[in-house]
């Protein structure tokens, strides 16, 4: 086989040698984590969102459903055992790659990735959630409106002789992850006062994600964000202006300004291991941003002025 620069061999030994989990909730969680770890070494074009969605399924079923989301240009498959040569017609129809990758145990050298793999944002976030649950009694609520339990609630119940920090509404900051986990200075979230006094905008930022620090922005990687979502590593930039009412000239100028701002914010968030989401009030604003940059994650909040 000719020499390839920056080639990493995927041995899959820890994940593939693990026996099937016992049935039940505990077994499902163990299987889910094993699948996430196994998928983390592969290049995914969707950031691993399909993997996270299907992670509770058996590995072969996960591979079948998420195979289209693999970056095929960076993968080489080698049927080193010969078993895929006699695979069923259905499996052969989608190629040797699916057959090789879906095997319970991957032979050494069967799957080769070209280049360095950066763990998909969605997979990293899901794995971080496991680490947080094992490192702290806090079980963060991920659904909208769910209160952060345990550590934060306990801190609110205990009386204190010290005055509350100004502007925090009595809610002490709780780190979103283990201290220094990124290895980068400035990546720990720091609540800071809102950058502006736009009340409808700030209320939307507190309510919609929902914000872990109500009444506050959050500083990460030297950049101020409108909200850090409760329970997950997800930073938000909220836009509530009525973009659909602007004339064409103003729209174009506003889009240029926003795209540059969002690029800087997303780079800072991703460098610190956070997902970045943009919240806008209207479909027209969402469509315009995606026409400028399809890689943005834009959500319609419906927040009104």
Residues sharing a CB contact under 8 Å with residue 112, sequence separation 6 or more, in sequence order:
4, 7, 8, 9, 10, 75, 76, 77, 78
Element of type H or E holding 9: strand 7-9
pLDDT at 184: 52
Q: What is the pLDDT of residue 95?
A: 66
Q: Helices 248-271 & 283-292, crossing angle to 10 degrees?
A: 70
Half-sphere exposure of 1 (CA within 13 A, CB side): 9
Exposure class string for 234-264: b at 16+ Cβ within 10 A, else e: bbbbbbbbebeebeeeebeebbeebeeebee
What local confidence, expressed as pLDDT, does residue 271 receive?
Answer: 93
Query: Tell me: the pLDDT tens digits for 255-301?
Result: 999 999 999 999 999 999 999 999 999 999 999 999 999 899 999 99
- Are the CB atoms for 280 and 301 separated by under 8 Å? yes
Element (H, E) at 299: strand 298-300
pLDDT digits (tens, 9 = 90+) for 124-167: 888 877 666 554 333 333 333 333 333 344 344 444 444 444 44
pLDDT digits (tens, 9 = 90+) for 1-27: 333 333 333 433 333 333 344 444 445
pLDDT above 90: residue 87: no
Q: Which long-range contacts (CB under 8 A, 24 or more apart) does 178-186 make?
A: 178/131, 178/132, 178/135, 181/128, 181/131, 181/273, 182/272, 182/273, 184/221, 184/271, 184/272, 186/220, 186/221, 186/222, 186/272
Q: Helices 59-66 & 25-39, crossing angle to 10 degrees?
A: 50
Question: Which pLDDT belongs to residue 133?
Answer: 57
- Mean pLDDT value of segment 30-59: 88
DSSP string over 64-130: HHHGGGB-GGGEEE--SSSGGGG--HHHHHT-HHHHHHTSSSPPTTSEEEESPPPPPHHHHHHHHHH
Confidence tier at 121 by pLDDT (50, 70, 90) = confident
- Output 82 or 232, whichever has higher pLDDT: 232
Q: What would the pLDDT profile of 180-235 be if each residue is shown by its tens digit?
A: 344 455 798 999 988 777 899 999 999 989 999 999 999 999 999 999 999 899 99
Which one is predicted more confidently, 146 or 46?
46
Question: Three-state DSSP class for 174?
Answer: coil
Q: What's the pLDDT at 99?
A: 82
Per-residue pLDDT at 30: 77
DSSP 134-151: HH-S-----STTPPP-TH
The pair phi, psi for residue 184, each rounded to 5°, is: -120, 135
Is the confidence at residue 240, as pLDDT, over 50? yes
The pTM of the full predicted model, rounded to 2 decimals, is 0.43
């Amino acid at each position: 086989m000719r020499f390839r620069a920056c080639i990493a061999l995927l041995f899959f030994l820890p994940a593939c040698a693990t026996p099937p989990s016992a049935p039940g909730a505990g077994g499902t969680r163990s299987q889910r984590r094993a699948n996430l770890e196994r998928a983390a070494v592969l290049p995914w074009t969707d950031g691993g969102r399909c993997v996270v969605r299907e992670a509770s399924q058996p590995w072969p079923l996960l591979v079948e459903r998420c195979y289209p989301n693999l970056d095929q240009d960076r993968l080489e498959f080698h049927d080193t055992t010969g078993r895929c040569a006699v695979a069923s017609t259905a499996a052969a129809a989608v190629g040797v790659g699916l057959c090789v990758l879906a095997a319970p145990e991957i032979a050494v050298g069967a799957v080769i990735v070209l280049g360095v793999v950066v763990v998909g944002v969605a997979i990293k976030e899901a794995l971080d959630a496991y680490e947080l649950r094992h490192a702290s009694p806090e079980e963060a609520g991920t659904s909208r409106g769910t209160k952060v339990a345990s550590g934060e609630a306990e801190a609110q119940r205990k009386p204190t002789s010290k005055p509350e920090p100004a502007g925090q509404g009595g809610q002490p900051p709780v780190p979103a992850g283990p201290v220094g986990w990124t290895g980068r200075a400035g990546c720990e979230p720091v609540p800071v006062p809102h950058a502006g006094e736009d009340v409808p905008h700030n209320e939307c930022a507190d309510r919609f994600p929902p914000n872990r620090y109500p009444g506050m922005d959050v500083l990460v990687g030297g950049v101020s964000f409108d909200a850090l979502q409760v329970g997950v590593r997800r930073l938000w930039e909220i836009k509530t202006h009525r973009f659909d009412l602007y004339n064409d000239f103003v729209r174009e100028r506003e889009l240029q300004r926003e795209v540059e701002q969002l690029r800087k914010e997303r780079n800072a968030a991703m460098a610190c291991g956070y997902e970045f989401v943009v919240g806008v009030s209207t479909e027209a604003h969402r469509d315009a941003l995606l026409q400028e940059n399809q890689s943005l994650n834009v959500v319609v909040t419906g927040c009104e002025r």
